[in-house]
Structure 1
Amino acid sequence: MRVINLSDLRAKFDSIEGNHPGSFDEWVQRAEQCLIAIRPMTKKQRSNYWSNNNIWRELYPALSELSGHKCWYSEAPESSGEWEIEHFRPKAESKSEDGAVILEDGYWWLSYSWTNFRFAGSLVNKLRKDRFDSGNEVYGKGNFFPLDGDGLAQTGDEECDCERPLLIDPIKPRDVTLISFDQNGDPYPTYNEEDNPLYNKKATLSIKFYGLDHTPLRRGRSKIWSNCEMVVKKAHNYIKNNINDQVRRDEKIDECFLLLHNYSKYTEPYSMIVRNFVKEKIKDDEYSWLKDVELVLV
């Protein structure tokens, strides 16, 4: 998972729409009219209205552009399955991590708020089991939106600043650092429970509810890690065996840095794996030459 700059959505949308003056503003005005329409409705009436007026789908291309056409949560490429616009705060009902209902009507007032939209693969957004695993545990976000503490947004609160969500939000820079990955592609909390219990819990719950340990995702990450390993191993072998050829050694390092830089681009699948790989590799003093690559990762 890497940070998404949601403030760029307006420019992306207008660019895709041919820079028509007011394109995004026109969409916002329509969304406001939809919100006015659902205010007096019952929960069932809202559900029917959303089905017939899901204008958030019009933002699909622009939201996809923001992540380089990848799921905002898993970094899986768009071509790997079905994709949809997900409401970060559930629009119809919200539940705690144990399944208890928190808001029976959900955050319905944010159902047409573009700041509440996230671009997600259906494997993240919908409840399901890992088809490659014999276990019976169900994964997926669904209506789960656990909170820490007693703060709970009231109807009409567009910012929801009083809440402390226990699910990682890809538009928050600090949040995306809370999960790390190993060479097998397995996700794990960056902070242990003793050092930071809140960050550990957010990572643990996010891994579960976003299904980040789904088998295909682990395989994809592991492949990127292996690619990085192969590139570094090749450069390192030359460095060790050609200590008197400084010019050529520098060229090999540059070649290695460029490949790792390319793997880390936001358009590349599972790009955060590159940072995790480098972080682990430079713990070995033998790879001190690799440390500066952190400056060119994107």
Structure 2
Amino acid sequence: MNAKVSPQPNISAAQGDVVKASFPVRRMDFEFQQVPRYWADHDAGLTHFMTALSALFPDGEKFFVDSTRAVRNDPKLADPYMQKEISAFIGQEAMHSKEHLAFNAAAQAYGYDVRRLENMTGALIKNTTRVVGKLLKPFGFTQEMIGLTGTCALEHFTATIAAELLRNPEVQAMFKDQTMYRLWMWHAVEENEHKAVVFDVYATLYGRGPKAYSMRVAAMVLAMVFIFITQSYFTARLMKQDKKLTWKDTRYMIKFMYGRKGFMTRQIPELLAFFRPNFHPNDFDTDALLAQWKQKLGFVSA
């Protein structure tokens, strides 16, 4: 095994009168030194596609944490259980950022400038939220609302990707390296454990009226465009650095990800569900799926 799992003792299922979060924070320490260059189906295209996704995570997860911390002291969120859920969410996201930073550094060692992609992600998030904030300030939208709305939309995106990863054996078979398999499956499990936290925070603070709905719909449109363009550019950039930005080297990846039954294509209906006025992340029940994977990964006691 290439990682140690240490669940935090103060965050677990509720017991007696002690208020605790519904999911734990697991400390993971993966070792990426032995990960091969092309760990995704021994294919450059698939490997760079997933590495491009990973490059989005460190600053993306930091954005999620910062946006949630910015509102957590609001009196509407004073409920002890809600506070424990927020703390556990922040803990899990911080751990995701840590582990993807470590993997990205290992990819950098192969000569790919992943650190630059991370910096580009951070700059894009910062500039986008600042511009949107200035544009919407005259209409009564605060910077805190904009940050939390963006987080709400992006969390649905990551939870949807994660659920498909946990359901799809063909995609799971792509991971030819055990360390990368455990990294992505662990991340996928936790994205679905905390998928409703930020949405519930958002609904508690801003309700479900026309203003809150229109804001989260706009955020989702922006998030989908942001992720598709940025991740595609990152993938192309990595392929170019590897001198493999050719049809021969990319066609398998494109079909695998965006074909009629591709990994990303299959997620479209669930992604679009976010636009329903009465949507909630728990509309998609992943409890049985999570129970199966937590047992498989040895997380049952966590």
Provide TM-score, normalisation by structure 1: 0.24
- For the pair shown, which has the larger CA radius of gyration, 1 or 2? 1
The answer to which structure has the higher helix fraction is 2
Provide TM-score, normalisation by structure 2: 0.24
